[in-house]
Structure formats: structure tokens, C-alpha cells
């Protein structure tokens, strides 16, 4: 039974133990041309993943370096309409929604792979209107 549990953990890549999963997130969108901002509920990937650093220098040490982040495995873009926009401004914009998450190496060609400090976003009173 213990062996089966270990094999299952290896197959899952540690995602379950490290708790990389979908999390509800409120995105605040501000369009100055429309006169206000709007709160949108979406999902993001959040959680901890296994990371291993090494103290062995050079090429050999890099082979033991494991740095994974909680990344989206699948992502869709949804459309929203910003209320109150003038006629010459397109009120439709698109925002990402994560569908599946996994601990994996960050792809710098597709993602921003740096941690930014948290700051309190501006809160908005308007809510999402789907297109």
C-alpha cells in the first residue's frame, strides 16, 4: 500500500502535496476613457511547488537545480464589456481565466516568471457584464 502511494505521488509530480491549484481572484480593470473601473471575478493558479537549489558550482550543479512554479496548464480568455464608455471607445476587453494548474518550469516565452510584491488593488463597485 505504501509503495502504491509513493508511485501515485511521483505520477502527480507533487502537485497535490504542494497544493498548486485554482484560486478565485478579483481582477480590477480601469479604463480612464470610460470614467471608472470594474471588478471581474476570474481564476488564477496559486500555491507552492517543490524547489531545490544546489550549492555545487558550475554545470554539474545546474543539473541538481529544480525550480518549478504553480503555472496554468490550460487558459482561456473571456470577454467583458465595460459600461459607460463613449461611442468612439470599444467597451469590450479580454481577460484570462485559468482552467487547470500544474507545478512546472516557467516558460519565459509565454509567461512573466518573476514574483512581484503584493500591493492592495483599487477596489471597484462595478461588476462584470458578459458579452
Q: Which residue has the cell 470577454?
A: 79
According to the model, what pLDDT value does residue 23 have?
Answer: 93
pTM of the model: 0.64
Residue 33 contacts by C-beta under 8 Å, 6 or more apart in sequence? 85, 86, 89
DSSP 17: H
CATH topology of domain 15-127: 2.10.90
What b/e readout covers 63-75, taking b as 16+ CB neighbours within 10 angstroms? eeeeebbbbbeeb
Statement: residue 96 has pLDDT above 50: yes
Calpha distance 26→72 (Å, rounded): 17
10-26 residue pLDDT tens:
545 544 455 899 999 98
Amino acid at each position: 500500500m505504501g509503495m502504491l502511494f509513493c508511485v501515485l505521488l511521483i505520477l502527480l509530480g507533487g502537485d497535490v502535496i504542494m497544493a498548486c491549484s485554482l484560486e478565485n481572484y478579483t481582477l480590477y480593470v480601469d479604463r480612464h476613457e470610460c470614467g471608472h473601473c470594474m471588478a471581474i471575478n476570474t481564476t488564477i493558479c496559486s500555491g507552492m511547488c517543490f524547489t531545490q537549489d544546489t550549492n555545487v558550482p558550475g554545470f554539474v550543479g545546474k543539473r541538481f537545480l529544480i525550480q518549478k512554479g504553480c503555472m496554468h496548464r490550460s487558459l482561456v480568455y473571456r470577454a467583458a464589456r465595460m459600461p459607460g464608455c463613449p461611442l468612439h471607445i470599444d467597451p469590450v476587453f479580454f481577460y484570462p481565466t485559468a482552467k487547470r494548474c500544474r507545478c512546472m518550469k516557467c516558460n519565459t516565452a509565454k509567461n512573466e516568471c518573476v514574483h512581484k510584491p503584493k500591493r492592495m488593488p483599487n477596489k471597484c463597485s462595478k461588476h462584470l457584464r458578459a458579452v
